[in-house]
Chain A
């Protein structure tokens, strides 16, 4: 919610709130503060939350680096494929010329032109392949950043879980909102709610009549 939105929600005239409400709010805040201090999670949680803006910029950096690398690779592949198609076409033409009249093909310079064309084209393809290789540098750079963000996330998770266990009523502690785990399944081993590969997807769909 933006500050403008909050301002719009403010009543035109001052609200009359009973002092009991403020007392209750104060008690709840004090209880929460004391609980967190007793649990010993406050300093760790504070450290972790302090690191969040840094983590956000690190994640943005990863997204940027990986997107750049992917685009660089795809562009290089497109160009290399064009060069490859050009060589294939020139080869077909030269083949036809040699079959039709070998002497003329050599005398007209078609063979020599083809050799030069292939030489230039393969040099350009080599350049594209080098670009693809160099684009992989994102792996090293982002890998280091990922390691730092994972450490931060672990600290934050540890603190929040401790806090959550204390705050949530005992009969609800087992119930966790699984939606936060959506997305790619990193490790499907031992899980029955996910599929491990395309074969399992096909088997499941087949069992549904697909």
Chain B
């Protein structure tokens, strides 16, 4: 599972622009298989309906925020193996700690670079491969 090009990503963000940017960056990394969801509730339904390998999620979203999505994913036996990378403008330490304690695989603050996203995705995949 260490090659991101083989994976199916789910990008969760209420801003379509940010979804497009993350999708574009993943595409440049060779990951062409990505779907989008505009909030946590939509994402959770998509995760239950189809197989995904990696979630990249914002935190501040309507209906269901990123923290609630993260907790829901980690509480579901069939989903808890999916790494969730938080990509958010929330820079408060308590949010970062909460994300880590809730089972986030990584945390990126906006604005970010392609190199940062690539590094975090690779790092998460390497860690998963090592523990598999």
Q: Which B residues from 98 to 120 make CB contacts under 8 A with A?
A: 100-101, 106-110, 112, 116
Are B60 and A182 in contact, CB atoms less than 8 angstroms apart? yes
Assess the A193–B108 pair: CB atoms within 8 A: no
A205 at the interface (CB under 8 A from B): yes
Q: Establish whether residues B17 and A67, one from each chain, have CB atoms under 8 Å apart when the complex forms.
A: yes
Chain A residues near B90 (CB, 8 Å)?
A: 182-183
Most B C-beta atoms less than 10 A away, residue of A195, A204, A208: A195
Give 1 or 0 for each of B57-81: 1 = CB within 8 Å of chain A CB: 0001000000000000000000000
Contact between A205 and B96, CB atoms less than 8 A apart:
yes
Verify if A198 is at the interface (C-beta below 8 Å from B): yes
Interface residues of B in 37-72 (CB under 8 A from A): 60
Chain B residues touching A, range = 20 to 34
Q: Closest approach, in angstroms, between the C-beta of A150 and any C-beta of chain B?
A: 19
Chain B residues, CB < 8 A from A205: 96, 100, 106-107
B1 at the interface (CB under 8 A from A): no
Interface 1/0 per residue, B85-101 and A, CB below 8 Å: 00001111110110011
Q: Is the CB of B100 within 8 A of A188?
A: no
Partner of B60, one of A70, A183, A197: A183
Give Cα A70 to B16, complex, Å.
10
Chain B residues positioned under 8 Å from A70 (CB to CB): 17, 20
* Distance of A87 Cα from B2 Cα, bound (Å): 32
Measured between C-beta atoms, what is the minimum distance from A62 to chain B in Å? 14
Q: Return the contact of A71 from the options B17, B91, B93, B109 (Cβ within 8 A).
A: B17
Question: How many Å lie between the Cα of A182 and that of B66 in the bound state?
Answer: 14
Distance between B80 CB and nearest chain A CB, rounded to angstroms: 17
C-beta contact mask, A73-112 vs B, less than 8 Å → 1, else 0?
0100100000000000000000000000000000000000
Kindly provide the distance from the CB of A185 to the nearest chain B CB, expressed in whole angstroms.
4
A39 CB contacts on chain B under 8 angstroms: none
Excluding A182-B60, A195-B109, 5 further A-B contacts by CB distance (< 8 Å) are: A67-B16, A74-B24, A183-B60, A201-B109, A204-B96
A-contacting residues of B (Cβ < 8 Å)?
16-17, 20-21, 24, 60, 89-94, 96-97, 100-101, 106-110, 112, 116
Q: Which 3 A-B pairs have the closest CB atoms?
A: A184-B89, A70-B17, A185-B91
14 contacts between A and B (CB under 8 A): A77-B24, A182-B90, A184-B91, A185-B91, A185-B92, A193-B92, A193-B94, A198-B109, A198-B116, A201-B96, A204-B97, A205-B96, A205-B100, A208-B101
